[in-house]
Structure 1
Amino acid sequence: MPRRPDIDIPDLSGQRALVTGASDGIGLVIATRLARAGAEVLLPVRNRRKGEAALATVLRQAPGAEVALHDLDLSSLASVRDLAARLQDEGRPIRLLVNNAGVMTPPSRQTTTDGFELQLGTNHLGHVALVAGLLPLLRAGGATVTSQISVAANSGAVNWADLNWERSYDGMRAYSSSKIAFGLFGLELQRRSAALGWGITSDLAHPGVAPTALLAARPELARERDTVGRRVITAMSRRGILVGTVESAALPALYAATSPAERGGRFYGPSGPGHLGGAPAEQRLYSRLRSEDEARRVWERSEQLIGTSIGG
């Protein structure tokens, strides 16, 4: 049996970490590994039942760890603001923020509480609002912010002509658009932090391809059964063919978030064929992520959409 890829994670004792999308899949692996390394881990979840099961899983694998559930629905800007306000009231610096949560390709167009196309609103704007709300705590902690994008950010474009996909919805193109926008935002966060002395390090990761819940049956997304793609990925993963496992898919973000060598503005993903699976390694930025003008445009438009000036 081939050796499974893994990384060493440094001691994180005394460091506060927040991981979105940690109620299952890659996010749960990330949260568990951070807890095992000694971090105090915050699990903001939309579904309390799943969150409690995730909390129990983390504590089974990291006995004695400090882990806390919080309520968060990234598809609601009010929910994001509420979480940020609660953590601001606690006043404790955040050292690690892993923006991992996401939704993928609802069969039909859906919208967030605030009227945004669901993938734009959840994958991108919800996380932008979270960074904005937590910025003082991130600055106080000298935080590393790791934003999880996708191999889908290597195709398509930000749909500037119709950001909300109101005229011609295409689930995969909308997903790519949201992930490109989020990647550009993460890189602009690094540039602004460096220019303004925020002390935040911002980087990007992608998990490759693995059998996660993104393409599984999701009745709330009007997806009644696992997609064909998910079934194929699961079969390939079990056989060790090209794609990764949920555990290996968590490694790029874990490396980006915890490596002492990380300096910001870098991009990590699996190093295997096609960057679909394998051990994590630094990768060349996708072409869609290289324009600083596009990154500034994403930042400014995102501020307008969430109604908040980030760092202002």
Structure 2
Amino acid sequence: MGITVTWDHRNPPAAQGRTVAITGGSSGVGLWTALRLAEAGADTVLMCRGLDKGEQAADAIRSAVPGASVRTVHVDTSSGDSVRAAAAELRALPRLDALVNNAGLLISPKERQVSVDGYELTLATNALGHVLLTREVLPQLEKSGDSARVVWVGSMAAKLTRTTPDDLNLERGYNPWLAYAQSKLVMQAAAFELHRRLTAAGSPVRSLVAHPGYSLAVRSEPLGEAAPEREPTPAELLQYPLAQGQDGGALPVVRAAVDPEALGGQFYGPRGGLKGEPVVAGGVEGVPGAGHGGLGGPGKLSVNPVVGRACWAFASRAWGLEPDL
């Protein structure tokens, strides 16, 4: 069901003076998140693998929100070198209030592929690269005090798989669905583990997860060519009654990024699980709304601290880092 605090999703809190960086900000839920944050007054940083597409997206936001402050930064979250270079650009900004870890492969390759650093490609793109990026910019985030947060964009798919702790790299058993679902589970578990570690360290940074429900590309305005209108496929027509547009899917992410009452360790999603207004749909033990069940919840493994420690340690050591912050 979710819990609701005072929140008008049609009119989010003002975010003037805040800087928010969004990976995968040039399309889909990431682009709609950037637009809504720009409308709320935030300085937005679109972190994109393709800078041409990123500039097109930035121009679309500027056209839709006159006076919007938007910039682009190149990043390929599957590459450690690319992530470190992008993090250096973020650390050079006057301030950084929020990092939205959104970029990812929605459709994994049919055959197992590896990143330039030797990790299964979907895992590297969706989870490992975001852990590295987060660790690289934590000092910059901490300078922003209580407004600082890391929002990890999760997925209901994380509930539909179990980790293979001795084969997260899927060297012994690969299929595209498992690769995607496991990458999202690793991401969510690492996000909640980061919350535990930040809390223990007394850091002001909040780490929380938001998922977009079942979101389809059904709208184009006001983003024009950056979110081009197209005819829905027959399969999508059958799914529309259960789904919402990517504009709606962005709302839980926006709420997690700017709601002053959003807390580390919480899980945000649509009230109905698949679609609906953004609410707290679960979270780790000890936070308001804690839980893992229901259609819209994060799943038992995501909030399990044993799983969290294992995923955080694996992701940290993938980059030669110790798990301790």
Alignment correspondent of 1:303: 316
Match for 1:248: what amino acid? Answer: G
1:254 pairs with 2:262: no
CA shift, 1:167, in A, is 1.9
- For residue 128 of structure 2, give the secondary structure of its aligned residue in structure 1: helix
- TM-score for the superposition, normalised by structure 2: 0.84
Structure 2 distance, partners of 1:233, 1:36, is 33
- For residue 41 of structure 1, give the secondary structure of its aligned residue in structure 2: strand
Alignment correspondent of 1:10: 13
Structure 1 moving runs of 4+ over 2 Å: 5-8, 230-234, 308-312
CA shift, 1:6, in A, is 4.0
- The answer on whether the counterparts of 1:210 and 1:234 sit within 8 Å (CA) in structure 2 is no
- The answer on whether the counterparts of 2:16 and 2:43 sit within 8 Å (CA) in structure 1 is yes
| Cα-to-partner distance string for 1:18-59 (whole Å, 9 max, x where unaligned) | 011111111000001111111111111111121111011110
Aligned residue pair count: 287
Alignment correspondent of 1:181: 186
Structure 2 distance, partners of 1:197, 1:298, is 22
- The answer on whether the counterparts of 2:90 and 2:96 sit within 8 Å (CA) in structure 1 is no
Equivalent residue in structure 2 for 1:64, among 67, 85, 88: 67
1:171 pairs with 2:176: yes
CA shift, 1:232, in A, is 5.5
1:23 pairs with 2:36: no
CA shift, 1:92, in A, is 2.4
Alignment correspondent of 1:103: 105
CA shift, 1:87, in A, is 2.5
Structure 1 distance, partners of 2:172, 2:99, is 35
CA shift, 1:310, in A, is 6.0
Alignment correspondent of 1:242: 242
CA shift, 1:109, in A, is 1.4
Structure 1's 56 and 233: CA in aligned 2 closer, same or farther, altered over 3 A?
Answer: farther
- The answer on whether the counterparts of 2:192 and 2:303 sit within 8 Å (CA) in structure 1 is no
What percent identity do the matched residue pairs reach?
A: 37
Structure 1 distance, partners of 2:236, 2:214, is 10
Structure 2 distance, partners of 1:93, 1:63, is 22
Alignment correspondent of 2:123: 120
1:155 pairs with 2:160: yes
CA shift, 1:283, in A, is 1.0
| Alignment root-mean-square deviation, CA | 1.9
- The answer on whether the counterparts of 1:185 and 1:298 sit within 8 Å (CA) in structure 2 is yes
1:265 pairs with 2:272: no
**Structure holding more helix per residue:** 1
Equivalent residue in structure 2 for 1:206, among 204, 208, 211: 211
- The answer on whether the counterparts of 1:111 and 1:117 sit within 8 Å (CA) in structure 2 is yes
Alignment correspondent of 2:51: 48
CA shift, 1:86, in A, is 2.4
Unmatched segments (≥5 aa) in structure 2: 1-7, 219-231, 283-291, 293-298
Structure 1 distance, partners of 2:167, 2:234, is 32
Structure 1's 291 and 53: CA in aligned 2 closer, same or farther, altered over 3 A?
Answer: same
Deviates more, 1:48-57 or 1:159-168: 159-168
- The answer on whether the counterparts of 1:147 and 1:186 sit within 8 Å (CA) in structure 2 is yes
Structure 1 distance, partners of 2:168, 2:261, is 36
Alignment correspondent of 1:197: 202
Structure 2 distance, partners of 1:204, 1:196, is 20
Match for 2:43: what amino acid? Answer: E
- For residue 306 of structure 1, give the secondary structure of its aligned residue in structure 2: coil
- The answer on whether the counterparts of 1:92 and 1:137 sit within 8 Å (CA) in structure 2 is no
Unmatched segments (≥5 aa) in structure 1: 214-229
Match for 1:167: what amino acid? Answer: R
| Cα-to-partner distance string for 1:111-148 (whole Å, 9 max, x where unaligned) | 11111111110100010000011011111123111101
Equivalent residue in structure 2 for 1:288, among 301, 304, 322: 301
- For residue 130 of structure 2, give the secondary structure of its aligned residue in structure 1: helix
Structure 1 distance, partners of 2:324, 2:90, is 17
Match for 2:70: what amino acid? Answer: V
- For residue 268 of structure 1, give the secondary structure of its aligned residue in structure 2: strand
